């Protein structure tokens, strides 16, 4: 799996091909994780929001117990939810995820979204009008608390998710910045612009939610050119652009299919995808 590795700013590695655990079916997550480890997956994308970190932890611990992997072979990611942006809450939120995952440290911990919500038991606190109640915590204060997690040895590296260019620039130009974000995890359509920006800033990109109706139609028209699934083309396309991808499935055959991307997209097909890719660029970026 070393061909999927890339070093972060802290000297740890991002494995370019994680297994996403978002919206995985309850009760199936542990088995999916164990199967994924058995066939070679080593990067697992988790989050407090997904409500399945305990099952993921059970699967990981079982495979460690069996001797299939060691902890240091894995790259486990979790994310700080929006209700924990207050500086005093960040460490506790990280420790909750660690306890659920049954781990001593995370390889990467992300701020899930740049906007914070009012602290409390509700995941999405709303007012009488049904509007989200925001936190008054500045994201730069949250980032300082994230940096403290690295110093405490609870996480190897820290990063961001769903940040736009202006939010990234504000963070990177923060006075006294101790650790730059190792990566920005975004839905793949954002990569139309963000991939180029990441080269300039030194952030690794992780592409989430790869399946998209319009893009899928484009790839299906090309499927006759190569003997692989269009989903595999989509995954390989991002890898060849030095973008880590996060495919999602709890079905064993899909998990295995998503790993079979050791091929090179021909230049003609790559150019065709790229030209189509930019034709569907969203206008809100």
Q: Which residue has the tokens 């659920």?
A: 100
Report in angstroms the alpha-carbon separations of 69 from 28, 41, 60, 62.
Answer: 20, 10, 9, 10
Closest C-alpha among 135, 202, 144, 132 to residue 168: 202
- Cβ atoms of 248 and 18 closer than 8 Å: no
CA pair distance 144, 174, nearest whole angstrom: 10
d(CA 8, CA 14): 7
Length of the chain counted residue by residue: 285
CB 255 within 8 A of CB 32: yes
Neighbours of 216 (CB within 10 A): 14
Distances (CA, A) of 25 to 52, 231, 258: 9, 21, 18
112 annotated ligand-binding residue: yes
**What are the CB-based long-range contacts (under 8 Å, 24+) for 274-281?**
276/215, 276/218, 277/192, 277/215, 277/218, 278/192, 280/189, 280/214, 280/215, 281/192, 281/193
Active site residues: 50
H/E stretch holding 259 = helix 252-259
Annotated binding site: 112
- Binding-site residues for substrate, in ranges, read 112
């Amino acid at each position: 799996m070393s061909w999927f590795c890339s070093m972060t700013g802290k000297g740890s590695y991002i494995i370019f091909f994680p297994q996403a655990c978002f919206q995985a079916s309850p009760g199936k997550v542990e088995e999916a994780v164990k199967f994924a480890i058995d066939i070679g997956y080593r990067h697992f994308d988790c989050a407090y929001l997904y409500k399945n970190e305990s099952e993921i932890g059970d699967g990981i611990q079982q495979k460690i117990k069996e001797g299939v992997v060691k902890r240091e072979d894995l790259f486990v990611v979790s994310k700080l939810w929006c209700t924990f942006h207050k500086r005093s809450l960040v460490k506790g939120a990280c420790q909750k995820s660690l306890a659920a995952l049954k781990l001593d440290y995370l390889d990467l911990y992300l701020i899930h979204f740049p906007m914070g919500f009012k602290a409390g038991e509700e995941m999405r606190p709303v007012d009488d009008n049904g509007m989200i109640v925001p936190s008054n915590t500045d994201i730069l204060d949250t980032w300082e608390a994230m940096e403290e997690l690295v110093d405490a040895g609870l996480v190897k590296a820290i990063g961001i998710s769903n940040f736009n260019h202006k939010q990234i620039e504000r963070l990177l130009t923060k006075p006294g910045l101790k650790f730059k974000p190792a990566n920005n995890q975004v839905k793949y359509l954002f990569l139309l612009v963000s991939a180029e920006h990441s080269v300039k800033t030194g952030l690794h990109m992780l592409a989430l939610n790869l399946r998209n109706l319009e893009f899928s139609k484009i790839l299906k028209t090309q499927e006759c050119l190569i003997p692989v699934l269009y989903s595999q083309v989509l995954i390989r396309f991002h890898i060849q652009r030095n973008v880590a991808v996060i495919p999602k499935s709890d079905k064993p055959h899909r998990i295995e299919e998503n790993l079979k991307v050791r091929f090179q997209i021909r230049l003609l097909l790559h150019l065709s995808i790229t030209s189509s890719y930019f034709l569907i660029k969203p206008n809100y970026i």
